[in-house]
Amino acid sequence: MRIAVLSETEGAETRVAATPETVKKYKGLGADVVVQAGAGTKAGITDAELDASGAVIAPSREETLRDADIILKVRRPADGELTGAKPGALLISIMDPYGQDAALKNLAAAQVAAFAMELMPRITRAQVMDVLSSQANLAGYRAVVDATAEYGRAMPMMMTAAGTVPAARVFVMGAGVAGLQAIATARRLGAVVTATDVRPAAKEQVESLGAKFVAVEDEEFKQAETAGGYAKEMSAEYQAKQAALVASHIAKQDIVITTALIPGRPAPKLVSRAMVESMKPGSVIVDLAVERGGNCELAQPGQVVEHNGVKIVGHLNMPGRLAATASSLYAKNLYAFVETLVDKESKALSVKWDDELVKATCLTRDGAVVHPAFQPKA
């Protein structure tokens, strides 16, 4: 069994799909691991470290792919990147499959069985494979660090001989994994933190971290969560009421961090131009949904822009701004999944195609798109 780890070709991508720790674990499963030269450089992992852990360093993509049974990446391969891959090889990465019909068709044409890690079901046995949580956790932390760097004042209240410095006021929009970590981080830095979310269960979680919950808590709010724990899209009436409450609250904030995403949909617009203009000069907005169109109307992907003295931070790939930690967690997520695809006794690949984890994540197989949610439109 041969596992290939490819370099990332996406410019903003700094993460890598394997670390010296997981290479050793793959060796323990009986696999030979081949890593493309330089794959870990941006994450602070040298070829020498990977070599010392038992990996073979291949000088080119073609040599890395040759005869590989499993191909590991962070992001979905670009068109043509899998040229030379063995038919039937398993490709495992973050696939970003929504609205990507042509890309999925190309994966099917490459004759690989492609698995999307972000489609992993949220069940107990798959928690260790949950890439959305592992990466969002880091994004929430980094959002506060970046906001603090852009904000020209101290975060905690300080009592000095020269006078008292007030605590910064931080508002977190969306209390999922990223939002909760942002709340915890801002609280650790001494800020006064408030948060909002459309899911009723989030209120208790927000308050348990010492933040105040801000939301219109009507009947619709009480029903606003899917069985999978995701936020439902709210009615126009509710959105208007919530927007009015949020608008008055944002005007008093120093830092706003937006984290709202609904899988497969453009990011909901939560912060309008008028809301930005209501904030004090020197305030900061960090938009974690900028890759999906952004929660803030004025956010620009990959840029820090300024409007009326308010900085709007739109960094792409926020987990990748903590490349070493993000790679470590992502590589462990991948290993946990790969382990379920290998027979421990024969040390050979043995995919159980009816396993719920496989069925939930498998996008393409035998030259066709097989996932029911991504069937080509007639």
**127 tagged catalytic:** yes
Of 15, 93, 130, 242, which residue is the catalytic one?
130
List the one residue out of 33, 14, 12, 13 whose CA is nearest residue 22. 33
Give the separation between CA 133 and CA 327, rounded to whole angstroms. Answer: 13
Task: Identify residue 260 by its one-letter amino acid code.
Answer: A
Of 122, 125, 153, 273, which residue is the catalytic one?
122
Chain-centre distance of CA 360, in angstroms?
Answer: 18
Task: Identify residue 75 by its one-letter amino acid code.
Answer: R
In what helix (H) or strand (E) does residue 22 lie, and over which residues does it extend?
Answer: helix 20-28
Task: Identify residue 105 by its one-letter amino acid code.
Answer: K
**283 tagged catalytic:** no
**Strand ranges (E), the chain:** 2-5, 32-36, 56-58, 70-75, 90-94, 113-116, 158-160, 163-165, 169-173, 192-196, 212-213, 255-258, 284-287, 304-307, 310-313, 342-343, 348-349, 362-365, 368-369
Of 60, 153, 230, 350, which residue is the catalytic one?
230
Crossing angle of the two packed helices 323-340 and 131-150, in degrees rounded to 10: 170
Of 127, 208, 248, 303, which residue is the catalytic one?
127
**CB-count exposure of residue 220 (10 Å: 0-12, 13-18, 19+):** middle
Of 53, 93, 133, 328, which residue is the catalytic one?
133
**130 tagged catalytic:** yes
Question: Taking the CB of residue 227, how many other CB atoms lie within 10 A of it?
Answer: 5
**122 tagged catalytic:** yes
Give the separation between CA 86 and CA 111, rounded to whole angstroms. Answer: 8
Task: Identify residue 71 by its one-letter amino acid code.
Answer: I
Specify whether the CB–CB gap between 219 and 225 falls below 8 A.
Answer: no
Contacts of 224-229 with CB under 8 Å at 24 or more apart are 224/198, 224/199, 224/200, 225/198, 225/199, 225/200, 225/201, 228/122, 229/122, 229/199, 229/201
Give the separation between CA 18 and CA 70, rounded to whole angstroms. Answer: 12
Q: How many residues does the chain have?
A: 378
Report the catalytic residues: 122, 127, 130, 133, 230
